[in-house]
A and B are shown apart, each in its own frame.
Chain A
Amino acid sequence: MATLNSNIPSGPLAEKWEHHKFYTKLINPANKRKYKIIVVGAGLAGASASATLAELGYDVHNFVFHDSPRRAHSVAAQGGINAAKNYQNDGDSVHRLFYDTIKGGDFRAREANVHRLAEVSVNIIDQCAAQGVPFAREYGGLLDNRSFGGAQVSRTFYARGQTGQQLLLGAYSALNRNIANGGLKSYTHAEMLDLVVVDGHAKGIVVRNLQTGEITRHNGDAVVLATGGYGNTYNLSTYARGSNATAIWRAYKRGACMANPCYTQIHPTCIPVSGDYQSKLTLMSESLRNDGRVWVPKRKEDCGKKPADIAEGDRDYYLERMYSAFGNLAPRDIASRAAKTVCDEGRGVGETGLGVYLDFSAAIQRLGEGKVRERYGNLFAMYQEITNENAYQTPMRIYPAVHYTMGGLWVDYNLMSNVPGLFVLGEANFSDHGANRLGASALMQGLSDGYFVLPATISGYLAGQNPGKRPTTDNGSFKEAEENVQTMTKRLLGNKGKRTPDSFHKELGKLMWEHCGMARNAASLEKGIKAIGNLREAYWNEVNVLGESNDWNQSLERAGRIADFIELGELMCRDALMREESCGGHFREEYQYTPDDPETKQGLVNPGDVKRRDDQFAFVAGWEYAGAPDKAPILNKEPLVYEEVKMSTRSYK
């Protein structure tokens, strides 16, 4: 059994981080350069961590599978980044951001981590502004804000609809500066395929050069994974096509626990699926819900009509009706589930009946088309390009899609996994968003982990490691890991099946959406686990991977990643089956509020809202690999102990 000790510092919640930074051991400047740190990934978390660690004087080696560190999918985040600056004087504070995030995550995040995130949020904005990130400004030259879901204050900073891109380019510029200074080495087209563990500590990685196929070993005093989330397990998602779980999954297979894998975020405002050929789903930023009103027809019979022909009185603005306090800005999990509910009732719109309207006519009347264009022009243009419809004239059609994974590798307060020396940042870890992430909080967490948290905590681990004494790459564990990678490559290329890797990915995606999607139940999850297990076996019998190993081979790259997605999908279902409660994005049909519950009668929740079971499930599930994909994984639990906040019914009414 693994030990999951959260290592939360003692003391009052608001003082933990300051105290912890003081009591964490430091490394003297002359010794820092003797420590080599491997960072995998260069999204917001990976790039900011690499740059900051290099700046501190560590010898940093950054690896990305992309052709450039600027391509990571953080680049696609549209809406913004939260920070408790209270520049709007609307009552925001560190404590409010902390509380909104804890509540938004349905009381399943780690309290101390979330408080630290809120504290650090203000420094992130300062840092990015100093780097020249062109945030939106007011006429006086000061920073502008917008609102996002799950909050009643305006605390989201943004750069048009391209906030992620601009923040990533900021972190990338910091990375470049350190490459230029010689303290950071960047490896591109370099995919991590195994983690090397020596005497129980993470001490290196095995990498495939995607251009030449060459497999190389890299040693380090610590390994940092910032490789993003695993939403592509569903095949169709708002993730980039290349986003994958291979780095975290291979680390899992080397002993790192996977925490809460069933916590996935289904984003309410995406462009609906149009056909079987589809490769990805496109998000329409949540910021649109600032001014857009979500509705469906009140009567099924009206669904086929043009939206303009449906009278105002025949429209059901269901979010405003069900959650009057937050209305169209209800958190993502709630808005998604509500969309599913109205579509299940037969009131969905569009060809497939799986769509709801996001209507801007009221905003255009109120503000004028020019103002709406200024705020969301690029999103409207993107919508038109994809759907061939003009959203200034007719409402957008949207439907929920997989967007983010709150689960990830388990980490303690120092962001270190249960494998000493292995640190995990950003979406790849599990710690800050609980069972549902609020909008504009992913960018905040990625940069918080990378710029401010890891650089302060990693010295605590390194201080216990002798400088300059890391294992060399001819150590037996490196050899074994490289052989493991070579064997898998040979097995994939040598298999003479009849099916393409992508056909398996599509099949996996359908199984996941059906059994482990927006609504889950025990019987269906059990079916899913069986079906995915069968798919895993079929994969290794029937897959056919073309091309060679010593060449640019995208089929081979994908084949390895899909093998991992299949195994991970099975674990997600197991976790969802184990968690016999509903919370945030994890909705178990068996556990929902009924009209007879006291909370419903008091008006706190609606019938059908998620119902947690704090007495039994207030814990983090850390799954441990049992040595083979067909062996049931071992469940470890980290109890969620809240010192300050009381776990209460999450109400947005």
Chain B
Amino acid sequence: MKVTLKVWRQKNRNTPGSFKTYESPELNENMSFLEMLDVVNEQLANRGEEPIAFDHDCREGICGTCSLVIDGKPHGPHKGIATCQTYMRSFKNGDEIVVEPFRAKAFPLIKDLVCDRKSFDRIQQAGGFITVRTGAAPDANSIPVPKPDADLAMDAAQCIGCGACVAACKNASAMLFVSAKISHLGLVPQGQPERYKRAKAMVDQMDAEGFGACTVTGSCEAVCPKEISLDFIARMNRDYGVALLKGDPKAIKGGGAG
């Protein structure tokens, strides 16, 4: 099979970009989409043209590095599948495929199809953790976690941090991502002491990064390679609401013995 690619090329964020059209060489339908790009890049390099920059790493759907909007959809045609696990058998001989980077104010472009998603790290740094010193943990079985809670926490925790939810959202909202993180830690007993403080800190950072608001259209859930449920957004909103109502807890008397 062969396909025609319409690919966004942009040298850097200060230089305007444009779509460029490339004809693929003969392909095999068992190639992954990224292997197809490798083959096209190899062809470009052999012609002395600079290869298309795109992000990728594990190529097994778990690291969250790959991105791409393929024919208008983040991570391509399949439900619950990242770009790196999309195979060429999903396309037809002669198809024209449009490939764009993830677009969001909080994901500034680096080059061609690569954008900068460090805003996600900063949201996590704001509170996406449970405070526990190394070595200070009690025996693991001393904290039983009901299986349904553990399973639900795992559903949220599988988020790979790719940012497709943001790319799919007309408001470039990061609510699905942030809610997955907040829900994971908020669902387990270990996460309770910091639950509301965490929700507030992470939501505040999300806003500060310039992500948009949520209007519950559900496009995020539809493109999520891990099929993270929209329900987690409700869970986050509740925790955030409680955090606002509670305010910051203050000790009645400050200080202790020196």
List residues of A whose CB falls within 8 A of some B CB.
Answer: 48, 51-52, 55, 66-71, 73, 75-76, 85, 87, 123, 125-132, 134-143, 159-160, 162, 164-166, 169, 172-174, 176-177, 179-180, 186, 188, 211, 238, 240-242, 274-275, 277-280, 282-283, 381-382, 385-386, 388, 451-452, 455, 500, 502-503, 544, 546-547, 551-552, 554-555
Q: In the bound complex, do residue A165 and residue B62 qualify as a contact, i.e. CB atoms below 8 Å apart?
A: yes
Select B143's contact among A51, A67, A130, beta carbons within 8 Å.
A130
Asked if B132 is at the interface (CB within 8 A of a chain A CB), the reply is: yes
**A residues within 8 A CB of B124?**
70, 172-173, 176
Q: In the bound complex, do residue A279 and residue B126 qualify as a contact, i.e. CB atoms below 8 Å apart?
A: no
Tell me the bound Cα distance from A129 to B111 in angstroms. 39
Q: In the bound complex, do residue B53 and residue A280 qualify as a contact, i.e. CB atoms below 8 Å apart?
A: no
Tell me the bound Cα distance from A602 to B51 in angstroms. 60
Q: In the bound complex, do residue B157 and residue A169 qualify as a contact, i.e. CB atoms below 8 Å apart?
A: yes
Tell me the bound Cα distance from A455 to B188 in angstroms. 28
Asked if B235 is at the interface (CB within 8 A of a chain A CB), the reply is: no
Tell me the bound Cα distance from A443 to B129 in angstroms. 20
List residues of B whose CB falls within 8 A of some A CB.
Answer: 11-12, 27-28, 30-32, 34-35, 38-39, 42, 45-46, 48-51, 53, 55-65, 78, 80-81, 85, 87, 89, 110-111, 114, 116-118, 120-121, 124-141, 143-147, 150-151, 153-154, 157-158, 160-161, 184-185, 188, 190-191
Q: In the bound complex, do residue B59 and residue A137 qualify as a contact, i.e. CB atoms below 8 Å apart?
A: no
Q: Measured between C-beta atoms, what is the minimum distance from A110 to chain B in Å?
A: 24
Tell me the bound Cα distance from A555 to B46 in angstroms. 12
Given A75-B63, A85-B140, A240-B63: A388 and B55 interface contact (C-beta under 8 Å): no
Select B30's contact among A275, A382, A503, beta carbons within 8 Å.
A275
Most buried by A among B12, B42, B60: B60
**B residues within 8 A CB of A138?**
147
Q: Which 7 A-B pairs have the closest CB atoms?
A: A141-B144, A130-B137, A173-B129, A129-B140, A126-B137, A134-B154, A177-B129
Given A126-B140, A130-B143, A382-B85: A546 and B59 interface contact (C-beta under 8 Å): no
Given A70-B121, A138-B147, A173-B124: A382 and B61 interface contact (C-beta under 8 Å): yes
**A residues within 8 A CB of B191?**
132
Select A240's contact among B12, B57, B131, beta carbons within 8 Å.
B57
**B residues within 8 A CB of A48?**
134
Q: In the bound complex, do residue A69 and residue B121 qualify as a contact, i.e. CB atoms below 8 Å apart?
A: yes
Q: In the bound complex, do residue A131 and residue B130 qualify as a contact, i.e. CB atoms below 8 Å apart?
A: yes
Given A68-B117, A131-B129, A242-B57: A73 and B63 interface contact (C-beta under 8 Å): yes
Given A127-B135, A160-B154, A500-B42: A277 and B58 interface contact (C-beta under 8 Å): no
**A residues within 8 A CB of B111?**
551-552
**A residues within 8 A CB of B184?**
132, 134
Q: Measured between C-beta atoms, what is the minimum distance from B144 to chain A in Å?
A: 3
Q: In the bound complex, do residue A451 and residue B134 qualify as a contact, i.e. CB atoms below 8 Å apart?
A: yes
Tell me the bound Cα distance from A138 to B147 in angstroms. 6
Q: In the bound complex, do residue A279 and residue B188 qualify as a contact, i.e. CB atoms below 8 Å apart?
A: no
Interface of B is mostly: loop
**A residues within 8 A CB of B53?**
552, 554
Q: In the bound complex, do residue A174 and residue B134 qualify as a contact, i.e. CB atoms below 8 Å apart?
A: yes
Q: Measured between C-beta atoms, what is the minimum distance from B102 to chain A in Å?
A: 12
**A residues within 8 A CB of B64?**
70-71
Q: In the bound complex, do residue A67 and residue B51 qualify as a contact, i.e. CB atoms below 8 Å apart?
A: no
Q: In the bound complex, do residue A179 and residue B125 qualify as a contact, i.e. CB atoms below 8 Å apart?
A: yes
Tell me the bound Cα distance from A128 to B121 in angstroms. 20
**A residues within 8 A CB of B137?**
123, 126-127, 129-130
Tell me the bound Cα distance from A403 to B46 in angstroms. 31
Q: In the bound complex, do residue A68 and residue B118 qualify as a contact, i.e. CB atoms below 8 Å apart?
A: yes
Tell me the bound Cα distance from A241 to B41 in angstroms. 15
Q: In the bound complex, do residue B59 and residue A55 qualify as a contact, i.e. CB atoms below 8 Å apart?
A: no
Tell me the bound Cα distance from A552 to B115 in angstroms. 11
**B residues within 8 A CB of A382?**
60-61, 85
Q: Measured between C-beta atoms, what is the minimum distance from A502 to chain B in Å?
A: 6
Tell me the bound Cα distance from A278 to B125 in angstroms. 37
Q: In the bound complex, do residue A76 and residue B126 qualify as a contact, i.e. CB atoms below 8 Å apart?
A: no
In the assembled complex, 17 residue pairs joining A and B whose CB atoms fall closer than 8 Å, in A order, are A68-B121, A70-B124, A75-B58, A76-B63, A126-B139, A129-B190, A130-B140, A137-B146, A142-B141, A165-B160, A240-B57, A241-B58, A282-B60, A500-B45, A546-B45, A551-B111, A552-B111
**A residues within 8 A CB of B50?**
546-547, 555
Q: In the bound complex, do residue B157 and residue A279 qualify as a contact, i.e. CB atoms below 8 Å apart?
A: no
**B residues within 8 A CB of A126?**
137-140
Q: Which residue of B lies closest to A174 (CB)?
A: B129
Q: Measured between C-beta atoms, what is the minimum distance from A160 to chain B in Å?
A: 6
**B residues within 8 A CB of A134?**
145, 150-151, 153-154, 157, 184, 188
**A residues within 8 A CB of B133?**
55
**A residues within 8 A CB of B27?**
277
Q: Measured between C-beta atoms, what is the minimum distance from A443 to chain B in Å?
A: 14
Tell me the bound Cα distance from A136 to B157 in angstroms. 13
Q: In the bound complex, do residue A130 and residue B35 qualify as a contact, i.e. CB atoms below 8 Å apart?
A: no
**B residues within 8 A CB of A546?**
45, 48-51
Tell me the bound Cα distance from A134 to B105 in angstroms. 32
Q: In the bound complex, do residue A137 and residue B30 qualify as a contact, i.e. CB atoms below 8 Å apart?
A: no
**A residues within 8 A CB of B146?**
137, 141
**A residues within 8 A CB of B34?**
279
**B residues within 8 A CB of A164?**
62
**A residues within 8 A CB of B89?**
388
Given A137-B150, A455-B134, A503-B42: A162 and B129 interface contact (C-beta under 8 Å): no
Q: In the bound complex, do residue B154 and residue A123 qualify as a contact, i.e. CB atoms below 8 Å apart?
A: no
Given A134-B153, A134-B157, A240-B57: A127 and B63 interface contact (C-beta under 8 Å): no
Q: In the bound complex, do residue B158 and residue A131 qualify as a contact, i.e. CB atoms below 8 Å apart?
A: no
Q: In the bound complex, do residue A131 and residue B87 qualify as a contact, i.e. CB atoms below 8 Å apart?
A: no
Tell me the bound Cα distance from A125 to B142 in angstroms. 12
Q: Which residue of A lies closest to B111 (CB)?
A: A552
Q: In the bound complex, do residue B57 and residue A279 qualify as a contact, i.e. CB atoms below 8 Å apart?
A: no
Q: In the bound complex, do residue B65 and residue A71 qualify as a contact, i.e. CB atoms below 8 Å apart?
A: yes
Q: In the bound complex, do residue A277 and residue B150 qualify as a contact, i.e. CB atoms below 8 Å apart?
A: no
**A residues within 8 A CB of B135?**
123, 127, 451-452
Tell me the bound Cα distance from A179 to B123 in angstroms. 12
Q: In the bound complex, do residue B147 and residue A141 qualify as a contact, i.e. CB atoms below 8 Å apart?
A: yes
Given A129-B140, A141-B145: A162 and B158 interface contact (C-beta under 8 Å): yes
Tell me the bound Cα distance from A282 to B116 in angstroms. 27
Q: In the bound complex, do residue B141 and residue A87 qualify as a contact, i.e. CB atoms below 8 Å apart?
A: yes
**A residues within 8 A CB of B114?**
552
Q: In the bound complex, do residue B42 and residue A67 qualify as a contact, i.e. CB atoms below 8 Å apart?
A: no
Q: In the bound complex, do residue B117 and residue A75 qualify as a contact, i.e. CB atoms below 8 Å apart?
A: no
Tell me the bound Cα distance from A177 to B130 in angstroms. 8
With contacts A132-B153, A500-B46, A554-B51 known, what are 17 further pairs, Cβ within 8 A?
Answer: A71-B65, A73-B57, A85-B140, A126-B140, A127-B132, A127-B134, A137-B151, A141-B150, A165-B62, A174-B129, A180-B125, A188-B121, A241-B57, A277-B39, A279-B34, A500-B42, A500-B45
Tell me the bound Cα distance from A73 to B56 in angstroms. 12
Tell me the bound Cα distance from A125 to B121 in angstroms. 25
Q: Measured between C-beta atoms, what is the minimum distance from A215 to chain B in Å?
A: 18
Tell me the bound Cα distance from A579 to B9 in angstroms. 50
Q: In the bound complex, do residue B28 and residue A277 qualify as a contact, i.e. CB atoms below 8 Å apart?
A: yes
Q: In the bound complex, do residue A173 and residue B42 qualify as a contact, i.e. CB atoms below 8 Å apart?
A: no
Tell me the bound Cα distance from A277 to B111 in angstroms. 25
**B residues within 8 A CB of A388?**
30, 87, 89
Tell me the bound Cα distance from A127 to B135 in angstroms. 7
Q: Which residue of A lies closest to B143 (CB)?
A: A129
Q: In the bound complex, do residue A275 and residue B31 qualify as a contact, i.e. CB atoms below 8 Å apart?
A: yes
